[in-house]
Structure 1
Amino acid sequence: MGFEIKKAKQEKEDKSFDIDSLLKKEITLFGSAFSNKKREAFYTELYVLLQAGLELKDALDLILKEQKKEFDVNLFQNIINDLILGKNFSEALRARNVFSDYEYYSVQIGEKTGTLNRVIEELSIFYKQRNEQRRNVINALSYPLIILITAFFAVLFMMQFVVPMFADIFKQNKVELPWITSQIINASNFFRDYYWVILVLLIGLLIFRRIFSGKIWYRKFSALFILKTPFVGEFFRKVKIAQFTQAITLLIGAKVPLLNGIQLTQKMIVFYPLQEALKKIEKDILLGKSLSESINKHSIFDSKMGALIKVAEETNQNHVIFQRLTEQYTKDIEYRSKMLSSVLEPVIILFLGAVIATILVAMYIPMFNLSTVIS
Structure 2
Amino acid sequence: MSFKLSNIQQQKGIATKEKSEWSSILQKEIVLFGNGFSNKLKEDFYTELGVLLNAGVSLKEGLELLLNSQNKKATKDILEIVVADLIEGQSMSEAIRTHKAFTEYEYYSIKIGEETGTLAAVVKQLGAFFARKNQQRRDVVSALTYPIIVFSTAFLVVLFMLHFVVPMFQDIFKQNKVELPGITNFIISVSEFMKSYGLVIIFGMISLFASRFLFNKQEWYRRFKDSLLLKLPFFGNFIKTVYLSQFTQAIALLSASKVPVINSIQLVKKMIAFYPLQDALTSVEASILKGATLSESLASHPIFSDKMIALVKVAEQTNQTEFIFDRLNVQYHEQVQRQSKMMSTIMEPLIIVFVGVMVGIILIAMYLPMFKLGTVLGG
TM-score (norm. length: structure 2): 0.91
- In 2, Cα distance between the equivalents of 1:209 and 1:72? 26
Alignment partner for residue 356 of structure 1, among 354, 359, 367? 359
Q: Measure, in 1, the Cα distance between the counterparts of 2:348 and 2:287.
A: 43
Letter in 1 for 2:353: L
With over 3 angstroms needed to count, the CA separation of the structure-2 counterparts of 1:19 and 1:231, relative to structure 1, is: farther
Indicate whether 1:35 and 2:38 are aligned: yes
Equivalent position of 2:375 in the other structure: 372
Q: Which residue matches 1:79?
A: 82
Q: Is the 8 A contact 2:254 2:264 kept in 1?
A: yes
Counterpart selection for 1:177 from 162, 176, 180: 180
* Whole-angstrom CA distance in 2 between matches of 1:321 and 1:9: 33
1:247·1:265 contact (CA, 8 Å) conserved in 2? yes
Shift of 1:123: 0.3
State which of 262, 277, 299 in structure 1 corresponds to 2:280: 277
Amino acid of the structure 1 residue aligned with 2:373: L
Total equivalences in the alignment: 370
Q: Superposition pairs for residues 226-305 of structure 1, below 5 Å? A: 226-305=229-308
**1:349-371 deviations in Å (ceiling 9; x for gaps):** 22222111111111111222222
- The CA deviation string for residues 293-330 of structure 1, in whole angstroms up to 9 with x for no partner, is 11111111011212211221222211111111111111
Q: Which residue of 1 aligns with 2:32?
A: 24
Give the corresponding residue for 2:189: 186
Change (3 A) 1:290 1:18: farther
SS at 2:31 equivalent = helix
Aligned-residue offset at 1:175: 2.1
The 8 Å contact of residues 29 and 273 in structure 2, kept in 1 or not, is answered as no
Structure 2 unaligned blocks of 5 or more: none
Amino acid at match of 2:5: F
1:324 paired residue number: 327
**Distance between the aligned counterparts of 1:56 and 1:294, measured in 2?**
40
Q: How far apart, CA to CA, are the structure 2 residues paired with 1:21 and 1:111?
A: 22
2: CA distance, partners of 1:263 / 1:84: 31
> Partners in 1 of 2:46 and 2:209 — Cα distance?
35
Q: Structure 2: which amino acid aligns with 1:3?
A: L
Residue 29 of structure 1 corresponds to: none
Q: The residue matched to 1:299 in structure 2 has which SS?
A: coil
Cα deviations by residue, 1:153-194 (Å, 9 ceiling, x for unpaired): 111221222112222222222222222212212222222232
CA distance in 2, matches of 1:245, 1:13: 30
Which residue in 1 is equivalent to 2:126?
Answer: 123
CA distance in structure 2 between the partners assigned to 1:80 and 1:92 by the alignment: 8
Following the alignment from structure 1 to structure 2, what is the Cα–Cα distance between the partners of residues 313 and 17?
A: 35
Pairing partner for 2:48 from 40, 45, 48:
45
Q: Does 1:157 find its partner at 2:160?
A: yes
Structure 1 residue 145: Cα displacement = 1.3
Q: Normalising to structure 1: TM-score of the pair?
A: 0.92
Letter of the structure 1 residue corresponding to residue 45 of structure 2: F
Q: Which deviations, in whole Å up to 9, do the C-alpha atoms of 1:178-214 show, x marking residues without a partner?
A: 2221221222222223223113322443455555555
**Alpha-carbon offset, residue 13 of structure 1:** 4.6
1:307 correspondence with 2:315: no
Work out whether 1:98 is the aligned partner of 2:106.
no
Q: 1:265 to 1:331 in 2, by over 3 A?
A: same
Match of 2:17 in 1: 10
Q: Structure 1 residues 229 and 271, CA, compared in 2 at 3 Å: closer, same or farther?
A: same
1:17/1:267 contact within 8 Å kept:
no
1:1-33 Cα offsets, whole Å, 9 max, x none, are 22235837525454225687843215xxxxx63
Moved more, 155-164 or 205-214: 205-214
CA separation in 1, counterparts of 2:334 and 2:255? 22
In the TM superposition, what is the alpha-carbon distance from 1:217 to its structure 2 partner? 5.3
Q: Which amino acid in structure 2 is aligned with residue 111 of structure 1?
A: E
Residue 112 of structure 1 deviates from its aligned partner by: 0.8
1:109 corresponds to: 112
The answer as to whether partners of 1:106 and 1:256 remain within 8 angstroms in 2 is no
Tell me how far apart the structure 2 counterparts of residues 121 and 11 of structure 1 sit (CA, whole Å): 32
Letter in 2 for 1:245: T
Of residues 334-343 and 81-90 in structure 1, the stretch that sits farther from structure 2 once superposed is 334-343
SS, match of residue 188 in structure 1: helix
Question: Structure 1 stretches of 5 or more lacking a match?
Answer: 27-31
Partners of 1:368 and 1:10 in 2: how far apart?
Answer: 77
Q: CA deviation at 1:93?
A: 1.1
- Please tell me the residue identity of whatever aligns with 2:93: S
